[in-house]
Amino acid sequence: MATTYQNWIGGRWVPARSGGTRENIDPASGEVLGIFPRSGAEDVNDAVGAARKALDSWRAVPAPRRGEILFRAGETLVRCKEEFARDMTSEMGKVLKEARGDVQEAIDMTYYMAGEGRRCFGQTTPSELPDKFAMSVRQSVGVAAAITPWNFPMAIPAWKIMPALITGNTVVLKAANDTPKSAWNLVKALEEAGLPAGVLNVVFGSGSEVGTPLVEHPDVDLISFTGSNEVGSGIAFKAAQFGKRLHLELGGKNAIIILDDADLGLALDGVIWSAFGTTGQRCTAASRVIAQRGILDELTERLIARTEALRLGHGLEEGTDVGPVVNQEQLAKVDGYMDVARRDGATIACGGSVANVGPLAKGFFFRPTVLTDVKPKMRVAQEEIFGPVTAVIAVDSLEEAIAVNNNVSYGLSTSIYTRDVNQAFRAIEGITTGLVYVNAGTIGAEVHLPFGGTRGTGNGHREAGQAALDTYTEWKTVYVDYSGKLQKAQIDVE
């Protein structure tokens, strides 16, 4: 019998008001892992109400005290890391060592933001007038809605929840439908750490049944969404209409540029890790390899050999390199791109099909795929596939590589492999994505630096690092005039 889980609203674990439920399924085996609420607008309303009610007292708690709660939650995450990583692999498929990394990223973010409880710096500057003091302080925004994806089921909720909480906001989390247990584990850790009732609430359910009423709720002040461009642009439209603050983290079409002078073995390690890690389901995944012509043949040959050697399997099994994709819909989408590739004239050099024999029969497996003869304007070189597929594009020069890299509607992550420091710096300057790596893959961002992208990848905001605080706070500028007389800025200039 699978365990039944509940929403956490106003400090209580409660079922969906409708009584509706949904199964949490292992995408590698089809096994039912748990039963979660299938919530709706009435549950969202309860959660937002609880968050609103908790707001004034939470923002009155001194930030260092808020930080202590986060530190305690971080300790639980450390203690339960292995268990939580296993839960994650079971519910979304990524191999265990990567799931451990996901939990670790949540731990890192929790500790980092807990420390902000004693920082959260503003600016103190001289005033232009005598006997006057000028400073700026951060204030919470209000009730934050965090809408999170299944590919980083603990890290990304932590990226949103931790900065929101430390800066005094209350939160309603809508966890991804495919990964409720990881969100539940994170929320439970915060509950056990002593977070007061209503400060964080989690409502399980789908985008249309929970996400939409949450975005539209008049008592939600701020929305942070990570997911598809299609859903993100719909949210942007509503946020504008209802006057809500919005942070968006959407798709990517990231490239690894490999120049003729690169260390090819190192570059291949980066491509394999970045293209097929998390089964290619990262917004930072390297779905393009932009190769200079001098190394093209050798690179392609070695890339195909290494890709064909990758072992598909259950992410909990020793020796598995690549797990399943998350669900049937994603599998069909990735498979559909093989026809698109063929029609446009690309070559499927390896992989290119669903793997469903033997132990793989019960899961959603797709063979790691390398596409060659790809031209920069082909759909497979422009659109986010979000699966274990990478496309090799040939270029003649660094300048052409940079132009091809930048010429997509996304702008998240790029990496360049070269041993020439001049070329590296020219690339750093010319690349227009939000993240740039030199001699490392496109994945693996660290939590204390800004994370996000240009163009269609987002709406200009960043998460993680100090930049995250800008999403979750309002600036309050304070002037204290202790001269005892009327002093006029810009007027009393003599």
Q: Looking at the annotation, which residues are catalytic?
A: 249, 283
**Residue 279 beta carbon to ligand UN1: minimum distance, rounded to whole angstroms:** 12
Q: Which range of residues in 256-264, 277-285, 327-335, 392-400 is near ligand UN1 by CB under 6 A?
A: 277-285
Token pair listed for 442: 């496109």
* Residue closer to ligand UN1 (CB basis): 284 or 390: 284
**Bridge-partner residues for 223, per DSSP?**
145, 246
Render 229-290 in DSSP notation, one character per residue. Answer: HHHHHHHHHHHHHHT-EEEEE----EEEEE-TTS-HHHHHHHHHHHHHGGGG-STT-EEEEE
Per rule CB under 6 A, is residue 434 in the interface with ligand UN1? no
* Residue closer to ligand UN1 (CB basis): 9 or 250: 250
* Residue closer to ligand UN1 (CB basis): 110 or 284: 284
Q: Interface mask (CB under 6 A) for ligand UN1, residues 351-380, using x and -?
A: ------------------------------
Per rule CB under 6 A, is residue 39 in the interface with ligand UN1? no
Token pair listed for 75: 């300790």
Render 393-445 in DSSP notation, one character per residue. Answer: EEESSHHHHHHHHH-SSEESEEEEE-S-HHHHHHHHHH--SSEEEESS-S---
Per rule CB under 6 A, is residue 92 in the interface with ligand UN1? no
* Residue closer to ligand UN1 (CB basis): 77 or 443: 443
Per rule CB under 6 A, is residue 284 in the interface with ligand UN1? yes
**Residue 445 beta carbon to ligand UN1: minimum distance, rounded to whole angstroms:** 3
Q: Which of 58, 84, 111, 152 binds ligand UN1 (CB under 6 A)?
A: 152
The residue behind tokens 């029969």 is 361
Q: Which of 283, 360, 392, 427 binds ligand UN1 (CB under 6 A)?
A: 283
Q: For residues 64 and 116, what is the distance between their CA atoms, to the nearest angstrom?
A: 8
Q: Which of 445, 457, 465, 469 binds ligand UN1 (CB under 6 A)?
A: 445
245 and 223 Cβ atoms separated by less than 8 Å: yes
* Residue closer to ligand UN1 (CB basis): 283 or 303: 283
Q: Which range of residues in 128-136, 352-360, 388-396, 442-450 is near ligand UN1 by CB under 6 A?
A: 442-450
Q: For residues 207 and 367, what is the distance between their CA atoms, to the nearest angstrom?
A: 29
Determine the size of the site formed for ligand UN1 (CB under 6 A). 9
Token pair listed for 295: 């190394």
Alpha helices in 61-179 (DSSP H): 63-79, 81-92, 96-116, 155-166
Q: Which range of residues in 199-207, 217-225, 281-289, 291-299 is near ligand UN1 by CB under 6 A?
A: 281-289
**Residue 52 beta carbon to ligand UN1: minimum distance, rounded to whole angstroms:** 29
Closest CA to 55 of 201, 267, 253: 201
Q: Which of 16, 312, 348, 443 binds ligand UN1 (CB under 6 A)?
A: 443
Per rule CB under 6 A, is residue 398 in the interface with ligand UN1? no
Characterize 160-176 residue by residue with b for buried, 16 or more Cβ atoms within 10 angstroms of its Cβ, and e for exposed: bbbbbbbbbbbbbbbbb
* Residue closer to ligand UN1 (CB basis): 348 or 416: 416
Per rule CB under 6 A, is residue 415 in the interface with ligand UN1? no
Per rule CB under 6 A, is residue 158 in the interface with ligand UN1? no
**Residue 428 beta carbon to ligand UN1: minimum distance, rounded to whole angstroms:** 18
**Residue 383 beta carbon to ligand UN1: minimum distance, rounded to whole angstroms:** 16
Per rule CB under 6 A, is residue 94 in the interface with ligand UN1? no
**Residue 393 beta carbon to ligand UN1: minimum distance, rounded to whole angstroms:** 21
Which residues from 190-249 bind ligand UN1, rule CB under 6 A? none
Q: Say how many C-beta atoms besides its own lie within 10 A of residue 228's C-beta.
A: 16
Closest CA to 370 of 307, 458, 277, 278: 307
Per rule CB under 6 A, is residue 272 in the interface with ligand UN1? no
Sign of CA dihedral 316, 317, 319, 322: negative
Q: Which range of residues in 138-146, 205-213, 348-356, 438-446 is near ligand UN1 by CB under 6 A?
A: 438-446
**Residue 414 beta carbon to ligand UN1: minimum distance, rounded to whole angstroms:** 13
Per rule CB under 6 A, is residue 279 in the interface with ligand UN1? no
418 and 384 Cβ atoms separated by less than 8 Å: no
Q: For residues 41 and 210, what is the distance between their CA atoms, to the nearest angstrom?
A: 6
Per rule CB under 6 A, is residue 391 in the interface with ligand UN1? no
Q: Which of 368, 444, 453, 458 binds ligand UN1 (CB under 6 A)?
A: 444
Q: For residues 378 and 80, what is the distance between their CA atoms, to the nearest angstrom?
A: 45
49 and 219 Cβ atoms separated by less than 8 Å: yes
Angstrom CA distances, 200 to 54, 111, 161, 480, stand at 9, 18, 8, 35
Q: For residues 145 and 223, what is the distance between their CA atoms, to the nearest angstrom?
A: 5
Contacts of 154 (CB under 8 A, 6+ apart): 84, 88, 102, 103, 105, 106, 182, 183, 185, 186
* Residue closer to ligand UN1 (CB basis): 245 or 448: 448
Note the residues at the interface with ligand UN1 (CB under 6 A): 105, 151-152, 282-284, 443-445
